[in-house]
Structure 1
Amino acid sequence: MNLTILHIEDDQEIGSWVREFLTEKGYQVIWIHSGYSAMEYMDRIDLVILDIMLPGLDGYTVGKRLKGKYPQTPIMMLTARTSMEDKLQGLSFADDYMIKPYHPDELEARIQVLLRRSGAVSTDSLQLSHLRIDKQANRILNTQSNQEIVLTGKQYHIFMYLLDHPNQILTKKQIYEAVWEDTYLKGDKTLMVHIRHLREKIELDSSSPQIIETIRGIGYRMRH
């Protein structure tokens, strides 16, 4: 089941962009333009992203009401207000306070921290693009289709080795010897074939991979 985020933001451009970005990352996003109807969604919400400057009820009022009734649901303030007074007021009820502009990867990283802290996401589970990986259960779920991705033993070991070294360029020799526990012979195509089949299963478009990147002449890198 997809994790659901309630985004309360009246700015059309920001709201549209955040919804598109987080949807691509595998979350279900409910976007509303004011806080008046927020309470009716809360029974199915895992996290709230909240602006301060909203029409009618401001973000502080909305956030305090939501936190009062749903204390376990994390709230992230996402706002252009930078003063310490605003930040302290926000953090009196919110779990995090992030200032615009921001890097999207930082936004997702902070969301993951809040979801783990609240128990919505297991510490053995993580989100990578459209994939949800449960290390304890050895399961990989495509959150867009809600289907489990079944890998062979070698494919799974390659995937997990890359996952354990996020954003690091790994040589073919490093990967091969870690997975096969044997000496890598230069020119051996075994790893390349396994990577190709792995991409066919995990990438949205295996001809344009976004998860496992080829570093020409060296090896591979998993983007995280």
Structure 2
Amino acid sequence: MSATLLYIEDDREIGSFVCRHMQEQGYEVNWVMSGEQALEAAAGCKLVILDIMLPGLDGFTVGQRLKKAAPDIPILMLSARTSIDDKLQGLQFADDYLTKPFHPDELTARIEVLLRRTGARNSEPLAIKHLLVHEQQNLVENQDTGEEITLTGKQFHIFSYLLRHLGQIMTKEQIYESVWGESYIEGDKTLMVHIRYLREKIERNPAAPEIIETVRGIGYRIRA
């Protein structure tokens, strides 16, 4: 299962280029364009690529908040600011600092190094009904059969987001905006379709789900 990367960059041209390259390398990329979206969007992501020059909250502030909220997620600063002061300030919380312009192969290599480094810190798996969830490895096992359940990046991101808010009712807006990084439009069926396919993979009986509960008119939750 491919790792999901959170990419925070407000420049559409650079953002599109980086997203396309990382997707070609087999990564799922959750791209947001402001720091205000970053904390919610980080759920389920294995690494953060962070620009410094952002509208609203600057990258240093965003990075510090992300590191405090999720200390095990590596942060790669990606910035046009090349001064040693900027690098030293960034490296107080970030795990690496790459200056623009950069070669995409170097970006890939640095990401792979950070993921290998943090992959050694395996958290305890979480048991939910018949499932065993290894969040660090993006791995879900069916304990009834002993087989791995293969989820897409979006499916795992949705599942991981609900697990991080175990027992809480999460609105469709909250889930959609965290996973897709954009505003939810009332009546959009995208999330509902993804939930349906996710249930087909993880529920014993998708027609009578035991894991992901629909809270009519509001959203979804996983019971604690």
Using the size of structure 1 for normalisation, the TM-score is 0.53
Deviations 1:10-42 (A, max 9, x none): 001000000000001100001110010111122
Contact 1:9 1:32 in 2 (8 A): yes
Distance in 1 between residues matched to 2:37 and 2:7, nearest whole Å: 12
1:30-60 Cα distance to aligned partner (Å, 9 max, x none): 1110010111122200000000000000000
- Aligned match of 1:87: 87
Note closer, same or farther for the CA distance 1:121–1:113 as it changes in structure 2 (3 Å cut): farther
SS of 1:5's equivalent? strand
Runs of 4+ displaced beyond 2 Å: none
Query: Aligned partners of 1:33, 1:115: CA distance in 2, in Å?
Result: 23
1:24 corresponding residue in structure 2: 24
TM-aligned CA deviation for residue 121 of structure 1: 10
Distance change (3 Å), C-alpha of 1:105 and 1:111: same
- Number of paired residues? 125
* Cα pair 1:115 1:121 within 8 Å, conserved: no
- Letter of the 1:84 partner, please give it: I
Aligned residue runs from structure 1 range 88-127, under 5 A: 88-119=88-119
CA shift in 2, pair 1:120/1:112, >3 Å: farther
Q: Give the Cα separation in 2 of the matches to 1:21 and 1:100.
A: 15
| Whole-angstrom distance in 1 between the partners of 2:121 and 2:22 | 16
**AA at the equivalent of 2:73:** T
Name the structure 1 match of 2:138: none
Task: Give the whole-Å Cα distance in 2 for the aligned partners of 1:94 and 1:107.
Answer: 15
- Which of the pair has the greater relative contact order for Cα pairs under 8 Å at 6+ separation? 2
Structure 1 gaps, min length 5: 123-140, 145-224
Report the 3-state secondary structure (helix = DSSP H, G, I; strand = E; otherwise coil) of the residue aligned with 2:42: helix
Partner of 2:75: 75
1:42 paired residue number: 42
CA distance in structure 1 between the partners assigned to 2:119 and 2:27 by the alignment = 16
Q: Is this contact kept in 2: 1:6–1:29, CA < 8 A?
A: yes
Partner of 1:61: 61
Letter aligned with residue 93 of structure 2:
F
| Partner Cα separation in structure 1 for residue 4 and residue 48 of structure 2 | 9
CA RMSD after TM alignment: 2.0
Larger Rg: 1
Amino acid at match of 2:104: P
Question: Quick one: percent identity of the two aligned structures?
Answer: 62
Q: TM-score, normalised by structure 2?
A: 0.53
Aligned positions of 1:161-172 closer than 5 A:
none
Match of 2:9 in 1: 9
